[in-house]
Amino acid sequence: MTTTTPDRNRVQLPGISSRAYEHPADRSALVAMRSLSGFDSVLKRMSGLFSERRLRLMFLASSVRASETQFRSLYDMGRDSAYLLDLHRIPEVYVQQDPRPNAMAIGFDDPFIVINTGLLDLMDEEELRFVVGHETAHILSGHAVYGTMLAILTRLATRVAWIPLGYIGLRIIVTALEEWHRKAELSADRGGLLCGQDPEAAMRSLMKLAGGSRLHEMNIEAFLDQAREYDTAGDVRDGLLKVLNLLGSTHPFAVMRVAELDRWRRDGEYSAILQGDYPRREDDANAKVSEEVKAAARSYRESWAQSQDPFIGVLRDVAEGAVNAGERIFNRFARRDN
């Protein structure tokens, strides 16, 4: 299936690399993993290609596939998102009966998108366009492939929970992967905005995930105020509780997703991309692990510097040491790889 021109006048981004919109912490991890020869193949074998075929057959049998005659608007959104991000294949979109507002991208060689009916009932057309774009961005970044590692290790951690040292070691790895996954969600939010090209609709959709369908009772600016209050409120104890609240979570909280997306837009990267200033896919092979790790470290440092959270202030020196250690490790890896 080939891509066609979108039905509305949005800016296409020919040959765009996913590095254009990926959060630095997400991008550095992806560049590092892509640089490992055969890494994707190993993960695919571990997860089993048969399971992907089984899942596609399951959704084909138990849900509704969007097409020119079924859920036409979603079908058009999937086509448009693939066109705007210059994907070579248009991902299929399936609608499944589930009241929980959720969507996901599934698969390795031929990924597809699943939208719950709870999300269809919650979002208007432009908000849904952001959601479909979000999942399309996951596909372009290859998050489904690398996210498999998180799922495999999480299952493994539960199986070895009776071995104290083994469980602790795996739990540390899983916690780090969950942090990566949260940054991957921020990346996909940016990609969704590039597809919808409607910042207010993007932020509305995230706000609705927190507060439901009564949009007339909510306000984006007030919601952003909540994000600022969340960052500054309380003392060191509250900061620790924020960290504990994230354990086991693969998605950032809604107020932080809105705040991060708004900050990315205001920083000028969004408009620069629309004007054609972005890295191209053809240059992905030249991306250097060491440079991306340094970019991730800068991003964390800027985030810590901007944060008013007292707990972040206490841990800043410790975190700086961890980041510096990470840079040294990846620099050593990069030298060996070259």
Q: Which residues are catalytic?
A: 135
- Other CB atoms within 10 A of residue 128 CB: 21
Cα(72)–Cα(56) distance, integer angstroms: 20
Residue 262, helix vs strand vs coil: helix
- Other CB atoms within 10 A of residue 96 CB: 16
The encoded tokens of residue 151 equal: 């799922």
Output 36-40 pairs: Cβ under 8 A, ≥24 positions apart.
40/108, 40/142, 40/145
Cα(296)–Cα(311) distance, integer angstroms: 21
The encoded tokens of residue 131 equal: 């959601």
Cα(131)–Cα(77) distance, integer angstroms: 10
Q: H or E element: which one contains 298?
A: helix 289-306
Half-sphere exposure for 321 (CA within 13 Å, toward CB): 4
Cα(302)–Cα(25) distance, integer angstroms: 12
Pairing mode, if any, of strands 92-96 and 103-106? Answer: unpaired
